[in-house]
Structure 1
């Protein structure tokens, strides 16, 4: 583990950018960026366009270590280059921003009110490549829709089981059991989830540390004790479908939590913007998300 990167993530002031839309969500991400589906005819062309979008974000002067601690990448983004360097190397060496990698393969069908992760058959190979590319940690997402105790337990069990393999490979896993913001029982889901996470955290050894990525809780400061647990490096939250303004306002009410936004970060960016307009829009997003992450009500 890179101790300098660990210190930045553990103690730095700022937030983590999520630039990890994968195969299924890439067309939507491109459409929101102003690139329609008739702009590409193959998957390779699609991923080239989304890498161009991410390159534009990462190389922008508004995307810098003063307010951004880390960035989560899609596997193809990690394997591609920016200005002659692999993306993770560029982030760390040129920007001082800690690189993470999304490792999950998407969601299984819903059962017991949740969606587990699909099997990650090539995890060891992916982790090996990630280590070679100076990746600090990983991220993997499950979804919780109903306050079903057995379903939520299965989600957290799976996350921590895979998380231990990631720790063994020398990386820090981001455990992401997202609670759907439209759940009718979102607050109850979050209470069950918190208790399940605590159970697993208390079983970790002193050498086993994780990060958590959670939905912004309905009850402010519900996760404050998680942020103080000795096995937790950092707790970040996703925007989850909230607008940037709404997500920021909710985040400000939660001590110890910082943002890890995706759509809320890139919502005002467009392929047709001039460089000046693009950088200004990104700067506004970065500034407001940073303020919500460091200044609490």
Structure 2
């Protein structure tokens, strides 16, 4: 583990950029960027285009450690290059931004009101590759759709079980038990989730430090106990489908909670914009998210 990166991620001012769209979410991300499905004819071409988009974001002047402390990458992005450097090395050496890797393989079918992560039989191999590529931490997502105590308990147990495997590999896991913003009992789900998360956090050893990525809570500052927990490096929030202005407003009302936005970060940027237009739009986006993250 890179201690300089750990100190920066734990204490730095800013947010984490989520650049980890993969598989089924890639066409949607490209469409929002102004690239329609008729502009590519294979998966390879699709991933080339999404890497071009990510490269344009990462190389923008405003994308740097003044506002951004980390960036979450898709597995393919980790193995591709930006300006002649492997992406993780480019982020840290050229931008001062700590690189993270999305490691989950998607969601299982809904059961007990939740979607667990699909099995990850090759996780150890992926973690070895992540270390070779100088990745700092990882991220993995589950989804909670209903306030089902049994389902939420399984989500949290799975997140921590896999998280310990990641810690053993020398990486810092971001545990992401997302609560669906459209859930009719979102607040009750958050109550059960916090109880289960604190139980698991209290059981960790002193050398087992994790990050947490959650949906912005219904009640402001509801996750303060997790933010202040000695085993938690940082708690970050996903935009969850909220428009950027709404997400920023909700985030700013939660002290110590910082952003890890994907769609909200790239909202408004377009493949057809000039570099000046693109960079100005991204700079304004980064500024707004940063300001909401330092409250």
The CA distance in 1 between the partners of 2:62 and 2:207, in whole Å, is: 36
Q: Residue 213 of structure 2 corresponds to which residue in structure 1?
A: 213
What does 1:172-183 align with in structure 2 at a 5 Å threshold?
A: 172-183=172-183
1: distance between equivalents of 2:64 and 2:270?
19
Q: Deviations over 1:22-46 (max 9, x none)?
A: 0110000000000000111110000
Question: May I ask how many residue pairs the two structures share in their alignment?
Answer: 295
Q: Report the CA distance between 1:259 and its aligned residue.
A: 0.3
Is it true that 1:99 corresponds to 2:123 in the alignment?
no
- 2:65 pairs with 1:65: yes
Residues 1-297 of structure 1: matches in 2 within 5 Å? 1-295=1-295
**Alpha-carbon distance between aligned partners in 2 of 1:20 and 1:281, rounded to the nearest angstrom:** 20
Alpha-carbon separation, structure 2, partners of 1:139 and 1:270: 26
Normalising by the residue count of structure 1, what TM-score does the alignment of the two structures yield? 0.99
- Aligned-residue offset at 1:84: 1.1
Q: Tell me how far apart the structure 1 counterparts of residues 8 and 260 of structure 2 sit (CA, whole Å).
A: 15
SS, match of residue 24 in structure 1: helix
CA distance in 1, matches of 2:288, 2:53: 21
Cα shift at 1:232 = 0.2
Deviation digits for residues 49-105 of structure 1 (CA, Å, limit 9, x no counterpart):
000000000001011110000000000000111111110000001110000000000
Deviation above 3 Å: which 4+ runs of structure 1? none
Q: Give the alignment's TM-score, normalised by structure 2.
A: 0.99
Q: 1:122 Cα deviation (Å)?
A: 1.1
TM-superposed CA distance for 1:186, in Å, is: 0.3
Distance in 2 separating the partners of 1:126 and 1:267: 30
Aligned equivalents of 1:141 and 1:131: distance in 2? Answer: 21
Give unpaired runs (5+ residues) of structure 1.
Answer: none
Give the match's secondary structure for 2:23. coil
Quick one: distance in 1 between partners of 2:268 and 2:141? 25
- Structure 1 residues 211-248: Cα deviation after superposition (integer angstroms, max 9, x where no partner): 00000000101101100000000000000000000000
